[in-house]
Structure 1
Amino acid sequence: MTATPEDAQTATPDTGEPATVPSLQAALRAEHAAVYAYTYIGARSDDERRDRCYEHLDAHRAQRDTLRVEIGDRGTSPQPGAAAYELPESDGDADLDGYARRVERQAAQAYLELAASPDTAVRDLALRSLQDATLRGMEWGGELGVFPGFPEGGPPAQAGG
């Protein structure tokens, strides 16, 4: 199999933590999407909604920057954000709230995956971030699942069970 220039950018160096860098990159992709989403939502919101949105935007920007440093510290280049992301059907409050909940759910799922890292500091970062994403999602009308971060709020099905 021939490597592409993209493969070289995202290749994981042999640091003894093979799953950490791809999980950090996945969390970074979720943060890029969240920054994009909250910029979009904030521009279409008024007063208190806009203030909450920009507070969340600032939190995601800070998290994005933290992840970039974590990835760079492991000798890998952080992946850039996409040029555009999927947007909600309309600019109505219900659609914007749903969009924010979806973005926070995606971030929570990425941080749940990152929590499997063998690096204690990364696990701590992941767990705090999972909690923050869950709480932000609830601020937009989401419900607390039994297992936050898992798709549909539940643990994955076990093989053979």
Structure 2
Amino acid sequence: MSASPENGEFGTVPALQAALHAEHAAVYAYTYIGARSGGRQRERCYEHLEAHRAQRDTLRVELNERGATPDPGRPAYELPESDRDSDLDAYAQRVERQAAQAYLELAAAPAAAVRGLALRSLQDTTLRGMEWGTRLPVFPGFVQGTPPSQAGS
């Protein structure tokens, strides 16, 4: 369960699992992009693939330390419309945006070490997205780069 105003609780394990799902998707995406790109795009792709693999492994350790079984990746993930460079770039941007959203949620964890992991990961995924052409959002990790409205304020 995620944090909510109603119950005040935060589920670290579900948030870690959500981040792990984002990492599984990123590994899948960068494997796909790398196989269909060349030159500097391929080099960048493989750098990012290694970063996401390492992050995936870190999340698995975090889950194991909490007595949870890390969820496996799905057999397949949504792919871009075509193999054009612009579509592959947009695909990488989307994957990094989704990872940023998962890490933003994980940043609410009560444990300082998990929050630190989440914040470093949010920064890393934001920077990787920018390498693919994403403009720096005002609020990284928030959908559309804007925080949710403050009801009643």
Query: Could you say which residue in structure 1 is the equivalent of 2:30?
Result: 38
CA distance in 2, matches of 1:75, 1:18: 17
What is the alpha-carbon root mean square deviation over aligned residues?
1.0
Residue 128 in structure 1 maps to residue 120 in structure 2: yes
Shift in Å, 1:144 = 0.4
Identity of aligned residues (%): 76
What is the CA–CA distance in structure 2 between the aligned matches of 1:160 and 1:96, rounded to whole Å? 41
Q: 2:10 touches 2:110 (CA, 8 Å); kept in 1?
A: no
Q: Match of 2:17?
A: 25
For residue 81 of structure 2, the aligned residue among 86, 89, 106 is 89
> In structure 2, which of residues 96, 99, 112 is the aligned counterpart of residue 107 of structure 1?
99
Counterpart code for 1:82 = R
> d(CA) in 1 for partners of 2:62 and 2:146?
29
**Residue 152 of structure 2 aligns to a residue in which SS?**
coil
**1:19 Cα deviation from its structure 2 partner:** 1.2
**Residue number among 50, 59, 66 corresponding to 1:67 in the alignment:** 59
Please give the secondary structure, in 1, of the residue aligned with 2:135.
Answer: coil
Residue 156 in 1 paired to residue 144 in 2?
no
Normalised by the length of structure 2, the TM-score is 0.93
- d(CA) in 2 for partners of 1:18, 1:123: 12
Q: How many residues align?
A: 145
Query: Which of the two has higher C-alpha Rg?
Result: 1
CA positional deviation for 1:18 = 4.8
Partner AA of 2:105 in structure 1: E
- Structure 1 outlier segments of 4+, above 2 Å: none
CA-to-aligned-CA distance 1:24-62 (integer Å, 9 cap, x gap): 000000000000000000000101111100000000000
CA distance in 2: counterparts of 1:31 and 1:118, whole angstroms: 22
TM-score calculated relative to the size of structure 1: 0.88
* Cα deviation code 1:102-132 (max 9, x no counterpart): 0000000000000000000000000000000
SS in 2 for 1:90: coil
Offset, 1:159: 2.2
Tell me what 1:8 maps to: none
Amino acid at match of 2:11: A
Task: Summarize deviations over 1:76-96 as a string: whole Å, max 9, x none.
Answer: 100000000000000000100
Please give the per-residue CA displacement for 1:59-81, whole angstroms capped at 9, x wherever unaligned. Answer: 00000000000001000100000
Find the counterpart in structure 2 of residue 5 from structure 1.
Answer: none
